[in-house]
Amino acid sequence: MQTLVTGGGGFIGSHLADFLLDETGDSILLLDDFSTGQRDNVAHLVDQDRVELIEGDVTDDETVTELVTHSDRVFHLAAAVGVQRIVDQPLQSMRTNLVGTENVLDAAAEDGTPVFLASSSELYGKSEDVPFAESDDRILGPTSALRWSYASAKAIDESLALAYHRDRDLPVAVGRYFNIVGPRQTGQYGMVIPTFVEQALDDKPLTVYGDGTQTRSFTHVADAVEATYELLTTPAAHGEVVNIGAPEPTTINALAERVVELTNSNSEITHVPYEEAYDEDFEEPQQREPDVSKLEATLGWHPSTDLDRILEDIIDERTEAVVAE
């Protein structure tokens, strides 16, 4: 079986590649343009016989068609992600997220190749009606607040996937990721946990945005990868959108305190107004928590948050990196 992972050099994509290597006999094609993916993420994979790394862009129709045509299944994880990046590079981000997905779905529909499409809890927007179920209404801000361009693009991606399923019988499963975290995630695009861990290890102030009472439901990447694989390989999930997350929210204040404790850091915790952190039009979901009943009904399990395990994995990785330098 030949499996294509777009965004295979990325944070989740590289963990999925590890999983496929360990748990299946697949030959694995990894497509990445390394715009946000890191070469280090796949350095341990490129020498494996069963892995081939292709440097290319998902917006390049020819490359995508060629790879999808030679694959038996596709995990489409390539996307421009991270609030900071979306706000800084809205046009490029939207093109990657819209054109890339259409290229993958269109090529897969030729032979009915099964696809997993990575989507995001960002789609629920500013709704405060937690926990969020897949069939809930979405509440997004104005188009002038650039952050929402990501939710809009991913919503079109989802609608496209469902349309390909209905009109072309494409076996496609959509997973909405909720704040997936773990080793290899970079803080470069604003992700909170790697940012806090790096600040704490450097004894620099932890930058909590807003008043820190906002919540997020963090999910270990190992659980997210397993759910991703199972959704693609479970026919009942085809044509469905399913939340992937752990239903246990944490406030950002509590997260910052725990990071300081676990790193034995001397860092202070500071609060930074949103307009200073991003820009004046910035808007932010106050709460985010998945309803996992559909995931549970489809796969028979759902991830649970063990925040300390997540933080310890990341702290260990960052500490080892410093020792190795």
Cα–Cα dist 296/243, whole Å: 10
Show Cβ contacts of residue 141 under 8 Å, excluding neighbours closer than 6 positions: 125, 126, 147, 148, 283
How distant, in Å, are the alpha carbons of 117, 222, 293, 296 from that of 301?
A: 20, 14, 9, 5
Chosen residue from 284, 306, 313, 317 binding ligand UDP by CB under 6 A: 284
Could you say whether residue 170 binds ligand UDP (CB under 6 A)?
no
Residue 214 near ligand UDP by CB under 6 A:
yes
Q: Which residues have CB under 8 Å from 150's CB, separation 6+?
A: 80, 81, 83, 86, 93, 97, 120, 122
- 195 near ligand UDP (CB under 6 A): yes
Catalytic residue among 150, 177, 209, 229: 150
| Residue 113 engages ligand UDP in binding (rule: CB under 6 A) | no
CA distances from 19 to 10, 14, 323 (A): 14, 9, 27
283 binds ligand UDP (CB under 6 A): no
189 vs 36: CA distance, rounded Å: 9
- Round to whole Å and give the CA distance between 23 and 75: 16
Question: Which of 83, 104 has the CB closer to ligand UDP?
Answer: 83
Residues 227-256 that bind ligand UDP (CB under 6 A): 252
Is residue 80 at the binding interface for ligand UDP, with CB under 6 A as the rule? no
Residues 6+ apart with CB under 8 A from 311: 193, 197, 258, 259, 262
CB of 82 to ligand UDP, least distance (A): 7
Question: Residue 15 or residue 216: which is nearer to ligand UDP going by CB?
Answer: 216
Question: What's the CA gap between 174 and 116, in Å, rounded?
Answer: 6
Among 24, 127, 207, 251, binds ligand UDP (CB under 6 A): 207
Asked if 191 is part of the footprint of ligand UDP (rule: CB under 6 A), the reply reads yes
Is 10 within 8 Å of 225 (Cβ atoms)? Answer: no
Active site residue 274: no
Site string for ligand UDP, 114-153 (x = CB under 6 A): --------x-------------------------------
Hey, which residues are catalytic here?
A: 150
Query: Which residues of this chain interact with ligand UDP, rule CB under 6 A?
Result: 83, 122, 179, 190-192, 195, 207-209, 214, 216, 252, 284
